[in-house]
Amino acid sequence: GEDVEQSLFLSVREGDSSVINCTYTDSSSTYLYWYKQEPGAGLQLLTYIFSNMDMKQDQRLTVLLNKKDKHLSLRIADTQTGDSAIYFCAESGGGSYIPTFGRGTSLIVHP
Amino acid sequence: SAVISQKPSRDICQRGTSLTIQCQVDSQVTMMFWYRQQPGQSLTLIATANQGSEATYESGFVIDKFPISRPNLTFSTLTVSNMSPEDSSIYLCSVQGANTEAFFGQGTRLTVV
């Protein structure tokens, strides 16, 4: 079945850029998503990218997609303490409309 | 996007009891989804709830343990029955957007003691 992998932790200094990486196995993925989960909250959709795109930028967020390598990344510029959260990568497609989620990357931003 | 209200937001329950979680959406949707999120784990889909029909359960989840109601196009409930400490988890209600993206409620954090 489909699989989505992420590293579990990332620690960055405030003001630096954060890059969270994700790999997936389903070559027929149509959409790829990034979600943010703050403590005690549900998942908030941050951004998504179609599989025929290489890059999508939205303010401080940049999503890069390497479809050949099935690699997705989320770059957060000028990382702030409020960006501390768990970030989930997800993909859907290939006949399934239900997203498959990774285990989440816990981003810790320290002064 | 959809606004999803889920309640309770958290609860501590005795083992052997049941808890019903409610999910209200601000628009009519065909399908509603229930997920479980265990600590440090990915989201696991429990079932898909369509209005007017029985819910479709994923492998490892059964109706007797997780009965679901879907009385109309904006509301659903998930019951966690005969709870044990292993059921301690976050339970999330979700609906789908136009690009198959998932929108979530704030979740119900359940602790079974």
pLDDT of B109 > 60? The answer is yes
Among A37, A43, A88, A106, most B C-beta atoms within 10 A, so best to mutate, is A43
Task: Name the burial class of residue B47, with classes exposed (0-12), middle (13-18) and buried (19+) by CB atoms within 10 angstroms of its CB.
Answer: buried
Tens digits of residue pLDDT in B33-56: 999 999 878 899 999 998 888 899
Place of tokens 């999503």: A63
What does each C-alpha distance from A53 to A56, A67, B47 come to in angstroms? 8, 9, 31
Burial of B14 (0-12, 13-18, 19+ CB in 10 A): exposed
A29: nearest CA in chain B? Answer: B100
CB–CB of A30/A93 below 8 Å? Answer: yes
> How far B16 CA sits from the closest chain A CA (Å)?
25
For chain A, first and last CA: distance in Å? 41
Per-residue pLDDT reduced to its tens digit, A37-74: 998 888 999 999 999 999 999 999 999 999 999 999 99
What pLDDT, in 10s, does the model give residues B64-83? 999 999 999 999 999 999 99
Nearest CA in chain B to A5: B42
User: Which residues lie below 8 Å from residue A14, measured CB to CB, with a gap of 6+?
Assistant: A79, A80, A81, A109, A110, A111
For residue B37, the distance in angstroms to the closest alpha carbon of chain A comes to 10
